[in-house]
Amino acid sequence: MMPADLAPHEMLLHRLAEKDQRRTLSVACGIDFSSNDYLGLAGSDRLRRGAIRALENGVPIGAGGSRLLRGNHPEHEALELEAGAFFKADRMLYFGSGYLANLAVLATLPQRGDVVVHDALVHASTLAGITASKATALPVAHNDPDGFDTAITQWRQSGGKGQVWIAVESLYSMDGDRAPLPALAALADHHGGFLIIDEAHATGVHGPDGRGLAAALEGRANVVTVHTCGKALGCSGALVGANDVLCDILINRAKPFIYATAPSPLAAATVRDALRILTTEPERPTQLRELIHFANDRLTQCPGIACSGSQILPVVIGDAGRTLRIAAHMQRHGFDIRAIRPPTVPRGTARLRLSITLNVNITEIADMIDCLSGVMRKEMP
């Protein structure tokens, strides 16, 4: 048997390293300024007790099969009913992750002959779904409603006759800024299309009771939402909210739903507890908003840093190598801050992605920003 030739793969890793783009794994260490555990629920006693209680009541850890075979558990259905009532969606489906949910929605709902007009900065999972779709894909400049309108109009004028699908994030994961949802919803109505909104970084943090930035649009027949459960909710999986017809299409046609083992029933039970926390512990998002305001206000005092106004604060450095060095300095000072590099972000916009969560306090935020200011001065380009 001839040995496998690993040389092409080794060369690929070498080229990534030369461009400061090679990724490695590292264990979480230091004060948390990089996670998406915005409400500090992932390690909370309440979720831990809820999981123990569910196990003691016989809820299984694994589903044992896909939802369409033997894997459909009462905890899945209870979560979907309760989440539908909480988010005010017609119906909800529970997926194993936000990536799978976006992949399923975008690869399944738009049909051949349709068009998906998407913000240029949507998440990789949304792009994966669009790529897997048979629909035409049209990227539009970030947060530009006029650009969406122009792209749709030109597509119609060139002979496009199918459905229009608009795909955006409500709060962008790498920039921390908000999508112009009212304007985009009006465009979807005007063009007789659908609006798909990824609420991953807004769920639990923004909107009434943490229902997200699209809360006012939830339940409309032409709106599809994706609520990730692994960020502010501290659990895992994702909930897709849509009308009955679209949910049935996903059940019947979405390969990530049909052919994947169902999410853990224990995880579904824990997400139910997380949703209850949003309504019974309103002090959590209130405390987080105070920290977000403090961090944004403090960062405005740092030259060259533009604040987002949200819990996601990008510090754009530009050069990937310098970004890695600054992140390493911050880690040595005890702050868990990570470098985000192309292709995750556009070329020339390598950055530190600062994340504000309830795992830190005001003193730690102030110390981190003071330290960052000093490190950036030492690491001048």
Say which of 198, 199, 218, 336 is annotated catalytic: 198
Q: Does 10 reside within a domain?
A: no
Domain boundary among 280, 315, 340: 280
Whether residue 39 is found in the same domain as residue 184? no
Q: Is 26 a catalytic residue?
A: no
Q: Does 275 reside within a domain?
A: yes
Whether residue 38 is found in the same domain as residue 91? no
pLDDT-derived band at 142, boundaries 50, 70, 90: very high
Q: What is the mean pLDDT of residues 371-381?
A: 81
Q: Does 18 reside within a domain?
A: no
Whether residue 33 is found in the same domain as residue 65? no
Say which of 76, 118, 201, 329 is annotated catalytic: 201
Q: What is the DSSP letter of 27?
A: -
pLDDT digits (tens, 9 = 90+) for 192-215: 999 999 999 999 999 999 999 999
Q: Is 80 a catalytic residue?
A: no
pLDDT-derived band at 2, boundaries 50, 70, 90: low
Mean pLDDT lowest among 18-22, 122-126, 145-149 = 18-22
Q: Is 32 a catalytic residue?
A: no
Q: What is the mean pLDDT of residues 78-96?
A: 97
Mean pLDDT lowest among 36-40, 151-155, 340-344 = 340-344
* CATH code, 324: 3.90.1150.10
Whether residue 90 is found in the same domain as residue 211? yes
Domain boundary among 251, 280, 309: 280
Residue numbers of the domain that contains 85: 59-280
Q: What is the mean pLDDT of residues 328-346?
A: 92
Say which of 32, 34, 36, 44 is annotated catalytic: 36
Q: Give the pLDDT confidence score for residue 381 in this predicted structure.
A: 61
Q: What is the mean pLDDT of residues 320-343?
A: 92
Say which of 73, 123, 206, 227 is annotated catalytic: 123
pLDDT digits (tens, 9 = 90+) for 261-274: 999 999 999 999 99
* CATH code, 211: 3.40.640.10
Q: Does 262 reside within a domain?
A: yes
pTM (predicted TM-score): 0.93
Q: Does 195 reside within a domain?
A: yes
Average pLDDT along the chain:
94
Q: Is 209 a catalytic residue?
A: no
Q: Is 102 a catalytic residue?
A: no
Domain boundary among 280, 314, 329: 280
Please give the share of the chain, as a percent, with pLDDT higher than 90.
85
Bridge-based pairing state of the strands 223-228 and 136-140: unpaired
Whether residue 311 is found in the same domain as residue 173? no
Say which of 32, 80, 119, 169 is annotated catalytic: 169
State yes or no: pLDDT of 281 exceeds 90: yes
pLDDT digits (tens, 9 = 90+) for 159-179: 999 999 999 999 999 999 999
Whether residue 28 is found in the same domain as residue 76? no
Q: Does 191 reside within a domain?
A: yes
Whether residue 246 is found in the same domain as residue 374? no
Whether residue 133 is found in the same domain as residue 91? yes
Whether residue 273 is found in the same domain as residue 297? no
Q: Does 7 reside within a domain?
A: no
Q: What is the mean pLDDT of residues 137-154?
A: 97
pLDDT digits (tens, 9 = 90+) for 360-369: 999 999 999 9
Q: What is the mean pLDDT of residues 22-41?
A: 90
Whether residue 310 is found in the same domain as residue 260? no
State yes or no: pLDDT of 380 exceeds 90: no
Q: Give the pLDDT confidence score for residue 323 in this predicted structure.
A: 92
Say which of 34, 44, 102, 173 is annotated catalytic: 173
State yes or no: pLDDT of 250 exceeds 90: yes
Whether residue 313 is found in the same domain as residue 268? no
Whether residue 113 is found in the same domain as residue 252? yes
Say which of 231, 236, 264, 355 is annotated catalytic: 231
The most confident of 159-173, 308-322, 339-353, by mean pLDDT: 159-173
Q: What is the mean pLDDT of residues 129-136?
A: 96
Q: Does 372 reside within a domain?
A: yes
Q: Is 73 a catalytic residue?
A: no
Please give the share of the chain, as a percent, with pLDDT higher than 70.
98
Q: Give the pLDDT confidence score for residue 6 in this predicted structure.
A: 85
State yes or no: pLDDT of 286 exceeds 90: yes
For the chain, how many structural domains are there in total? Answer: 2
